[in-house]
Chains A and B, each alone.
Chain A
Amino acid sequence: MSAQSPTVERDDDLAAARPGRGANAAGQRIEIAGVGKRFGGQPILEAIDLTIAPGELVALLGPSGSGKTTLLRIIAGLEAADSGRLSFGDDDATRLTVQQRRVGFVFQSYALFRHMTVFDNIAYGLTVRPRRARPSRREIARRVDELIDMMQLPGLGARYPAQLSGGQRQRVALARAMAIEPRVLLLDEPFGALDAKVRKELRGWLREIHDRTGLTTVFVTHDQSEAMDLADRVAVLNAGRIEQVGTPRQLSETPSTPFVRQFLA
């Protein structure tokens, strides 16, 4: 299998689910209804309503302290909301544990397991499954190799995270999240830890991965150009509330609040 370019046609099951937008078996609708969260009496999120269409790529954009990362972590189940409901597709996810939600989560600093090789990192989600749901060792190796290929990490399977560049770590983190065949893909400041040049490159590449897999994807960013370039729709957050949700074009042409206009300027 060729690993030179992400645009190369591939015949595996991940590539078969393409392109991403709209009606696609891989994409699940995310529905957030009235989600609120307080911390020590201080509201972090207030009555958030947001519906994300199957296969959509949505950015949560806002300044630090706007609650965007908390919202992402609530979707993942890493944090519990005080109020409101959350569903994936037709399933109520509000009471599901983080393990049951099966989300692909890419952490801001990647959180790769430092004592494991790239291969073991990517395989982790499959190897920790209960015995009856666990693929055979051979099947795991096949899937990991496939992801290493897809993420353009050829020959790096035996390396440790400390031996990789920032961009490579990012791709390992994404491969690891994809290995569990997640229902939705969540990324926290996916390009925050990278230098400007690599950042631009990976942007286009993330868009491509998204379109190819058709996964419903939500990413958090404080960088408006990143959100506007990459996302189908952008939700602008400020002080725990959603100011406006819309396509990049709608936001820049008809900002609904002074905050949105200012933040996008």
Chain B
Amino acid sequence: MSERTIAARAADFATESVGARALLIAVSIAFLSLFLFLPLAIVFAQAFAHGIGAYFAAFVDPDARAAIALTLTIAVVAVPLNAAFGVAAAWAIAKFEFVGKNVLTTLIDLPFSVSPVVAGLVFVLVFGAQGVLGSWVAAHGLRIIFAPTGIVLATLFVTFPFVARELIPLMQQQGVAEEEAALTLGAGGLRAFFTVTLPNVRWALLYGVLLCNARAMGEFGAVSVVSGHIRGLTNTIPLQVEILYNEYNIVAAFALASLLALLALVTLALKAYLEWRIVGAVAHGRAR
């Protein structure tokens, strides 16, 4: 009993009054409801506004199917590539000393500080018909701008930082002693990487991949610039949603949007789970 009262008293001293706490909580809940829960509810309410039949009819449309297929394709190509690039960049930055390391660290963050629209425009200026490499691209019979290739490139650019930024702080904290131990025990560099480095960051890597995937599927700005909005060919789900909405095809627009909302919810749940694992892993490491 005494322990409880002491804890309660300490809490009294350390925190706000009951009234202030209630107010803060009420404001937070009101804000979350207005800006997060309500929009999410509206997405599903609008999607099912004309019943389940109309909802599923939206996915029968060939353009919608093409958009879903293209979005999945983009993610399947871009996410593994950025996982690999992210791991490589994080490995270099966290475990090695080299000239230009600070520049590389800053560059990794560039996609976060550049507007996605600008990122898309850059690719148009490089690979487009009037672009720097435009004639070379055309001469080799390649299509990059207004084609899935360009969408992949834009997505790669926008989602590059997610994996690397997740891994760098964890890898730096873990240091290089375990890798060195592996080398003295006879393991080669790659072997040490796959048996020691990678397993030590596996949860953070999954977490980064998850965020990267969510962004790859949901990206609008950069993709919108390079896609050309060709129905059934270069429209991803977000672009298709915009087109449907502009045509007042509300049910179909929100039905497709509900897919992205579901993706967000799944991402959120997995993210919470992974965060819990990472906290465990870090505590594991600190206990050394």
- By a beta-carbon cutoff of 8 Å, the part of chain A in contact with chain B is 76-78, 98-99, 102-105, 107, 109-115, 124-125, 128-129, 160-162, 169, 176-177, 179-180
Band of interface residues on B: 20 to 34
Whether A113 touches B183, Cβ cut-off 8 Å, given contacts A162-B284, A162-B287, is no
Proximity string of chain B (86-130) to chain A, C-beta cutoff 8 Å, 1 when within and 0 when not: 000000000000000000000000000000000000000000000
Q: Is the CB of A128 within 8 A of B183?
A: no
Q: Binary interface profile of B, 262-288, with partner A (CB < 8 Å = 1, else 0)? A: 000000000000000000000011011
What would be 20 A-B contacts, judged by CB atoms less than 8 Å apart?
Answer: A76-B184, A78-B183, A99-B183, A99-B187, A103-B184, A104-B184, A105-B184, A107-B177, A110-B288, A111-B177, A111-B180, A111-B181, A113-B182, A113-B196, A114-B178, A124-B182, A125-B185, A160-B284, A162-B284, A180-B186
For the complex, what is the distance from the CA of A109 to the CA of B285, rounded to whole Å? Answer: 12
B contact set with A: CB distance below 8 Å: 177-178, 180-188, 191, 195-196, 199-200, 284-285, 287-288
Does A113 contact B178, Cβ atoms closer than 8 Å? Answer: yes
| B181–A128 CB distance below 8 A | no
- Minimum Cβ distance to chain A for residue B184 (Å): 4
A52→B12 CA distance, assembly (Å):
66
**A109 with B288, Cβ < 8 A, contacts A114-B178, A128-B182 known:** yes
Q: With A105-B181, A107-B180, A111-B180 as given contacts, are A99 and B186 in contact (CB-CB < 8 Å)?
A: yes
Do the beta carbons of A98 and B184 come within 8 Å of each other?
yes
A188 to chain B, nearest CB (A): 10
Assembly CA distance A169 to B178 (angstroms): 14
- In Å, the complex CA distance between A201 and B161 comes to 49
Distance (Å) between the CB of B53 and the closest chain A CB? 51
What's the nearest-Cβ distance from chain B to residue A112, in Å? 8
Nearest-neighbour CB distance to chain A for B200, whole angstroms, equals 6
Question: How long is the Cα–Cα vector from A115 to B182 in the complex, in angstroms?
Answer: 13
Residues of chain B contacted by A103 (CB below 8 angstroms): 184
List the A residue with the shortest CB-CB distance to B287: A162
B187 touches A114 (CB 8 A): no
CB-nearest residue of chain B relative to A116?
B199
Q: B118: shortest Cβ distance to chain A, in Å?
A: 40
A109 touches B284 (CB 8 A): no
**Min distance, Cβ A195 to any Cβ of chain B, angstroms:** 15
Q: Which residue of chain B has the shortest Cβ distance to A101 in the bound complex?
A: B184
Residue of chain B at shortest CB distance from A160: B284
**With A76-B184, A107-B177 given, is the CB distance from A114 to B285 under 8 Å?**
yes
Q: Shortest distance in angstroms between A79's beta carbon and chain B's nearest beta carbon?
A: 10
With A114-B178, A162-B287 in contact, do A102 and B183 touch (Cβ < 8 Å)?
no
